[in-house]
Structure 1
Amino acid sequence: MKKPFVTLEQLKEITKKYPTPFHIYDEKGIRENARRLKEAFAWNSGFKEYFAVKATPNPFILKILQEEGCGADCSSMTELMLSEAIGFSGNDIMFSSNATPAEEFIKAREMNGTINLDDFTHIDFLEKVAGIPETISCRYNPGGVFKISTDIMDNPGEAKFGFTKEQMVEGFKILKSKGVKNFGIHSFLASNTVSNEYYPTLARVLFELAVELKEKTGADIKFINLSGGIGIPYMPDQEPNDIMVIGEGVRKTFEEVLVPAGMGEVSIFTELGRYMLAPYGHLVATAIHEKHIHKEYIGLDASAVNLMRPAMYGAYHHITVMGKEDGPCDHKYDITGSLCENNDKFAVDRMLPKIDMGDFLVIHDTGAHGFAMGYNYNGKLRSSELLLKEDGSVQLIRRAETPKDYFATFDFCDILKNIKY
């Protein structure tokens, strides 16, 4: 059973100053997890994790990860700007984007970050708008389906990302002729895998590709980026990944494929988001309404604007009714928000302890792709973000939005000057 990293007593104190809903993150858990990842790949002297900024774009979180030796994987102008403000630059920046505007390539070049090209046609585009750097990476899409054992994990052939193998060969030749000296390879073939096989299987695909590219193009391949895809057990009965087993699996593949090819100095990179942060974030909300019609409903002061994964694609997030952790789960509820959309539900037909008005509900595993995917539909305002620090204190790391924030982009509109805040 999943257990919150905050207690009911802590929440009672926290909400005296910061009302629900809010996202709260566990600094101790984040740091310990980053250290486990680093230990799992310590066999590779050049290993580096580039945290996927899109997962949790908060400067306080990014600073913690920077202190733990992580870089930043950015995919937009504002993510580059945020990372630069924190102090990431040069080899600490990986810029992985697609359908990329010219100004974003220019910014990445100005920061001397490593550009991870998503498409063959981007070679000429990048050269035209920002110039070709000496170090560059290219994203590979093998097409078809991606399998682990007998299970189909994902369908790269339907994904919009990456070069074909033929384009990788030709692209490396072209880039080499344009002055590139250091090459990298990147691929992302499956999302949120709860399998220790995924990374080693992906590694074999990329390691074998690296050997082939070196033979056919003479490119000096400096790093291989295994990207993200290591997932977390959202369901309480799922077995979690074992990062030490994963790291050892990649090591064995490295020694089987790259070392015999004279490529034992290649660095391994990762760009994890969900694995790094998801379990260390909770959305905390209060039960404010109950409804008894064809089903039993509990209405929260949070909604899909605070966590859209369940509404977007039926994702499961475990829920703890605080103070009733040991109570019988003998009530069936739909847990809802207040949006004018019927899919605004955090849980459907969920068996939980009896919920009373005023109860705190902790929605688990929201530390990645939680707050970050928020929006303002129905004029709803984004919540605050809090950090539970290692010493037990709580720090506000993003204030809640106000109506003034919501209307700020209409500051040229005379009609709205009459609004009273």
Structure 2
Amino acid sequence: MKTPFVTKDQLEAIAAKYPTPFHIYDERGIRENARRLKAAFAWNPGYREYFAVKATPTPAILKILKEEGCGCDCSSLTELLMAEKCGITGEDIMFSSNDTPAEEFQLASRLGAIINLDDLTLVDYLEQSIGFIPKKICCRFNPGGVFTLSKTREGFQVMDNPGDAKYGMTRAQIAQAFTSLAEKGAQEFGIHAFLASNTLSNDYYPALARILFRLAVELKEETGVHITFINLSGGVGIPYRPEQPENDIAAIGEGVRQAYEEILVPAGMDDVALYTELGRFMLAPYGHLVTRAIHEKHIYKEYIGVDACACNLMRPAMYGSYHHITVMGKENAPCDHKYDVVGGLCENNDKFAVDRMLPKVNMGDLLVIHDTGAHGHAMGYNYNGKLRSAELLLKEDGSVELIRRAETVEDYFSTLVW
């Protein structure tokens, strides 16, 4: 059972001022989660969370996380500019991009960001783009193959397939990159890798850490460079379904600590700082898409039409992703009606839920779609001329603040040349 962080009465009052659909975020939940993460890695003096801006590129959210000690992981020119406008610059930014234009490297350099190179060819390209190699630099590693975590009766449980991903360098390439970067003036080196997405296991980060820690020891011996940080990236997931287990970030931090003590400390690398770049874990549970039932249809299936659509939340249409739905005011009613919950796009995949058991939905009911705080509003678009919705912040004192207004028809037409 997932419980919304707002009540029906609260939402009705909010919707009277800010019409549905809208995304709303829970400031208290965001801050408490950031503090839990920080505590889990407090044993590492250099630890830093670089929030993945792509997940929720909203200035009010970035400023909250900045107050909690987080930096920004940016992957584009616009994300860099947003971080700068939020007062986040220098080594508080990790710039992790791929297929990167020169102008983006130039801006990252001007801001003093830590640049994370995705490919061996970018060593020379970066130097050509900005005129030098930064003293502090990072390279992204891709081990290839498949990443496996545990063995079951059916064989290995495959978490993801790095060998099919476009990101990162091979083992040989990252060694070559480090050597070349050192020759060009780099003095502090970092390693980054992202091997699996939305893992629901306390073992993922420790397993990834062991891979990267061993790699760091090998690269230090082979190249002689000073590796000062390792970025464990993202991938720590959240339970979208009520029955799924929740990760224990304290246990995850302890598992990484044990790997650190076993691998890096004996190699004389106990000065290595750890970084993370979590997006979904940081924000997803603390955002709701709030929408209202406006139509019902009875044909071969039962449909509930809402005033939101895939333009407000793409994940179910794009990936078939599950997002839990609460019919507000009917939290304890029996789920004895089977519905497809749909939006108004001219596409048949515009469905927030398929064959979902819910209480009887009446026209005008408010529905909360859970876990939209990351990769929700951020993935919005304007197909069918739909306009992107507002973003609201439920503040710790219970008040509500508009942090992004809804788009207007004038916004939609503003880039057109007639």
Same fold (TM over 0.5): yes
Q: Does 1:139 align with 2:140?
A: yes
Amino acid at match of 1:82: M
Output one character per residue of 1:7-65: Cα deviation in whole Å (capped at 9) or x when no partner: 00101110110000000000000000000000000000000000000000000000000
1: CA distance, partners of 2:81 / 2:395: 26
Residue 193 of structure 1 aligns to a residue whose secondary structure is coil
Q: Which residue of 2 aligns with 1:306?
A: 312
Q: Does 1:116 align with 2:116?
A: yes
Amino acid at match of 1:126: L
Q: Which residue of 2 aligns with 1:418?
A: none
Amino acid at match of 1:106: Q
Q: Which residue of 2 aligns with 1:342?
A: 348
Q: Which residue of 2 aligns with 1:98?
A: 98
Residue 126 of structure 2 aligns to a residue whose secondary structure is helix
Q: Which residue of 1 aligns with 2:23?
A: 23
2: CA distance, partners of 1:171 / 1:76: 22
**TM-aligned CA deviation for residue 390 of structure 1:** 0.1
**TM-aligned CA deviation for residue 375 of structure 1:** 0.2
- Counterpart mapping for 1:20-419 below 5 A: 20-130=20-130, 131-150=132-151, 151-410=157-416, 412-413=417-418
Q: Which residue of 1 aligns with 2:9?
A: 9
Output one character per residue of 1:376-407: Cα deviation in whole Å (capped at 9) or x when no partner: 00000000000000000000000000000000
Structure 1: 5+ residue stretches without partners: 414-421
**TM-aligned CA deviation for residue 265 of structure 1:** 0.9
**TM-aligned CA deviation for residue 104 of structure 1:** 0.3
Amino acid at match of 1:392: G
Output one character per residue of 1:182-229: Cα deviation in whole Å (capped at 9) or x when no partner: 000000000000100000000000000000000000110010000000
Where in structure 1 do 4 or more consecutive aligned residues deviate above 3 Å? Answer: none
1: CA distance, partners of 2:329 / 2:129: 58
Residue 288 of structure 1 aligns to a residue whose secondary structure is strand
Residue 137 of structure 1 aligns to a residue whose secondary structure is strand
Residue 28 of structure 1 aligns to a residue whose secondary structure is helix
Amino acid at match of 1:61: I
- Identity of matched residues, %: 71
2: CA distance, partners of 1:132 / 1:406: 41
How many aligned residue pairs are there?
A: 412
Structure 2: 5+ residue stretches without partners: 152-156
2: CA distance, partners of 1:149 / 1:265: 30
2: CA distance, partners of 1:157 / 1:347: 32
Amino acid at match of 1:141: N
**TM-aligned CA deviation for residue 354 of structure 1:** 0.1
Amino acid at match of 1:145: V
Residue 282 of structure 1 aligns to a residue whose secondary structure is strand
2: CA distance, partners of 1:86 / 1:402: 25
Q: Which residue of 2 aligns with 1:419?
A: none
Amino acid at match of 2:306: L
Residue 148 of structure 1 aligns to a residue whose secondary structure is strand
Residue 266 of structure 2 aligns to a residue whose secondary structure is helix
Residue 15 of structure 1 aligns to a residue whose secondary structure is helix
2: CA distance, partners of 1:20 / 1:119: 44
Amino acid at match of 1:53: V
**TM-aligned CA deviation for residue 132 of structure 1:** 1.0
